[in-house]
Amino acid sequence: EIFPYDLDYSQFIPRGHYTRNDDFKKYFKTMMWYGNVPFPLYLKDKQRNVEGTLQALLITYSMFLEKDGMQDLELWENIYEPTVFYAGKSDDLTIYDYKKLLLNVYGENIDIEELNNRDKINKLYKEAEKFPEPKIQAAYTSVDTPVGKQFRLIGQRYIPDSEIIQGVVEPTIRPIPKGLDVMAVLGSDRAYNIEINRFKENEKWGKYETQIKMLKKEFGKISEDDWKQNMYYGWLWTLKTLINPYEKGYPSFMTNEAWQDKSLNTSLGSWAELRHDSILYGKQVGAECGGGEEMPHVKGYVEPSYETYNRLLWLTKYSKQNLKDRKLLSSSIESKMDSFEQLLNFLIKCSLKELRNEELSVEEYDQINVYGGLLEYLTSSLADDGVRWDEITSDTDKNMAVIADVYTVAPNKYSPGGYIEEAVGPAYEIYVVVPIGGNLYLTRGAVFSYFEFFSEQRLTDEKWQKNIKENKGPSLPIWTDTFIRGGKNAIPIPAHPYNSGC
């Protein structure tokens, strides 16, 4: 054996965006190795892991050696630091922490022959007591990988929703969490009510309500500045605008229970995409424009969720500036992000006019009518820089359906163990009666389809998309029945078809 403990080798199955080509797959496996393989201070029964600790010290020491006027630390930081901006800091001890140990215990002029000095080792372990425990500890998996204080070269990151999931599971009574748990803690009363009144989670596990309230109180203390500390937090902060009921002053269609559930479904779908995009780093517990006929003055409508658009605008600006500061932003992508900013400013402007019962201009209605084509162009060109949807070479990237495993379930009395999958399926049509110019209109738009289910294997996007195509996908969450009704056997054809060219 390489290590005196086991590893969960299923984690090395490339998933998320990393299945697209061999280079991505190799990168995934390498980063998963650096993120998952621990050098713990202690093994089982608080037995000191001196050998592993010495290895971690040597790795740290070598990082600060100069070769050709450059330290390996610079190369390490070029990888680690941008990912901190994406997903936050490592939940485990890093090069920086072990540098402190080296300096505090061995001094400035380190003799590596003295690293194993018994007195120095004793002092080192005493110093290490000052380090915090990792917040995410996978205590209920089927392998015995150490979960306490440990060094990892590029450790997986603390992400807040993993802490939430960790806090609402109990291995023998409630081994399987729900995405609703995350939304309940983030502030969704509707998610909490579904858990209590529909799923009876408090009856299944007596501590459920207590845990949710405790976590809700803890996460309620997070300041706005803290929500803006990295892209991952910022994404969750944006979703928080969707999970509370809309107050007086909003259109009537947005103030009923069905719309609450639709918005909750949107939040969960977006959260599933977030977990998909960060699967490597997060620690675990359609039309184109052009060539159409002359456009009639069809009046569209913007869902006036201006707070959500405001936060998305901040997140876009924040991302663009931080990528630019790190010299990771090409001029082409910067141009696309500028266009996203313009689009979000347009949505904010329309939302405020609608909430004030002001009529939109002809130009604004025209822009709404080509919104889908513009959004498709921007998203497809970001998926594969500068290309249109039909030019994307990856069939997987042409499909919006994505999936991520977010929790590992250990063998228990309910199942032999497996994984909780959070997934987005195809877009569904949504029909909404909205006020436009003093009249009510039936409008049609698009909405996420969100799925959550137990799987005996970690699923890739390719496998998930294949399951959907073959009608082998799971059922929708039962609480979505307030706004989802069956399906259509055929797409209805309008009496006067219109080709926008989009």
- Which pLDDT value is given to residue 492? 58
Low pLDDT (below 50) residues in the chain = 140, 286-296, 498-502
At what angle are helices 179-186 and 257-277 packed, to 10 degrees?
110
- Which pLDDT value is given to residue 291? 44
- Which pLDDT value is given to residue 486? 67
- Which pLDDT value is given to residue 414? 76
Residue position matching structure tokens 């970001």: 382
- Which pLDDT value is given to residue 141? 55
| CB neighbours of residue 48 within 10 Å | 14
Could you tell me the residue ranges of all domains in the chain?
9-151, 160-482
- Which pLDDT value is given to residue 288? 36
How long is the chain? 502
Q: Torsions phi, psi of 5, nearest 5?
A: -160, 170
At what angle are helices 231-239 and 72-87 packed, to 10 degrees?
0
pTM for the full model? 0.87
The whole-angstrom separation of Cα 180 and Cα 193 is 10
| H or E stretch at 39 | strand 39-40
- Which pLDDT value is given to residue 285? 72
- Which pLDDT value is given to residue 53? 97
- Which pLDDT value is given to residue 479? 96
- Which pLDDT value is given to residue 296? 46
